[in-house]
């Protein structure tokens, strides 16, 4: 099984600012293409920016933020939130078009649609079918990127166009359900949590690092993330475990010790949540 890290943070234009395949130093791409072979897996820790993923071809399983092995089929779109970790396994060969719009662009186009939507816990990744006109525009973007003619300026214009097309083609309720988690809660509070959580193993430790009381943390966290602090920390621990399995050379014994699990339970845990044993995830 091949592995690739940093899929959502990779740029797709050359050093002369034309479409290509590698990141310019310090730059977060707006648009990009990813091709994944059948049974290939990709994992990434802490996605830097909310990213829309359009499945142009193929079928896949996707796991993120406590949602495990949800199938997403060709001709559909879904999103990954900033700060989330993810794991993706291609069922068949997959082509993804990635769009990570600047937040100000996304808010300008969508904030009024979801501003009144209540925060809620994610039980499934929101998925929408790609309508014909949108799919046609996405294929145009794909061809422009392959031809190397999509400059950063044109990428921004194309992103604005894609979001405008979404506004026109989909019902308000569909878009509200799709984007709700991107707009709910206190964004500054969320950003602070995402900055410090990796060094906190408990609710008490997270409250200490954020310099607030446990009761205040629990109240604000439920409002911002739509779940309890404890649930969220457990999910992030699972995501870090998956990252360590797929992206490091730590032995199974070292992983079990780090995550305070027995070797047998580590294998059982991975099969239950990720569909494969630790060794199979690495093969």
- Ranges of the chain whose pLDDT falls below 50: 1-6, 9-27, 116-119
pLDDT of 58: 97
pLDDT of 156: 86
pLDDT of 127: 95
Cβ density class 66-100: b for 16+ within 10 Å, e for less: bebeeebeeeebbbbbbbbbbbbbbeeebbbbbbb
pLDDT of 114: 67
- % of the chain residues with pLDDT over 90: 36
CA distance 206 to 199: 8
Residue 67's SS3 state is: strand
CA dist 70 → 134, 150, 152, 191, 282 (Å): 23, 32, 32, 26, 20
With beta carbons less than 8 A apart as the criterion, state whether 32 and 98 touch.
yes
Model confidence over 32-90: pLDDT tens digits?
A: 999 999 999 988 877 777 899 999 999 999 988 778 889 999 999 998 887 788 889 99
pLDDT of 85: 82
pLDDT of 35: 94
In sequence order, the β-bridge partners of residue 168 are none
Closest CA to 129 of 56, 77, 60, 58: 77
Residue 126's SS3 state is: coil
The sign of the CA dihedral 197, 198, 203, 206 is negative
């Amino acid at each position: 099984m091949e592995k690739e890290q940093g899929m959502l943070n990779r740029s797709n234009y050359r050093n002369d600012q034309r479409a290509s395949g590698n990141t310019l130093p310090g730059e977060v791409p707006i648009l990009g293409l990813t091709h994944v072979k059948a049974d290939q897996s990709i994992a990434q820790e802490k996605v830097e920016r909310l990213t829309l993923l359009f499945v142009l071809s193929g079928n896949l399983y996707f796991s993120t933020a406590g949602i495990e092995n949800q199938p997403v089929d060709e001709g559909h779109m879904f999103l990954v939130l900033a700060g989330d970790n993810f794991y993706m396994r291609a069922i068949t060969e997959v082509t993804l078009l990635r769009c990570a719009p600047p937040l100000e662009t996304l808010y300008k186009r969508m904030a009024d649609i979801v501003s009144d939507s209540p925060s809620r816990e994610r039980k499934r990744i929101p998925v929408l079918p790609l309508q014909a006109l949108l799919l046609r525009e996405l294929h145009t973007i794909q061809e422009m990127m392959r031809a190397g003619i999509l400059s950063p300026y044109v990428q921004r214009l194309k992103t604005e166009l894609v979001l405008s097309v979404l506004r026109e083609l989909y019902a308000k309720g569909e878009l509200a359900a799709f984007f709700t988690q991107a707009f709910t809660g206190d964004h500054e509070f969320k950003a602070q949590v995402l900055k410090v959580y990796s060094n906190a193993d408990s609710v008490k430790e997270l409250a200490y690092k954020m310099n607030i009381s446990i009761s205040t943390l629990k109240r604000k966290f439920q409002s911002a993330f739509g779940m309890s602090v404890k649930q969220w920390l457990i999910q992030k621990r699972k995501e870090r475990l998956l990252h360590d399995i797929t992206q490091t050379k730590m032995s199974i014994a070292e992983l079990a010790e780090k995550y305070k699990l027995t070797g047998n339970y580590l294998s059982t845990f991975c099969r239950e949540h990720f569909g494969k044993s630790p060794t199979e995830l690495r093969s």
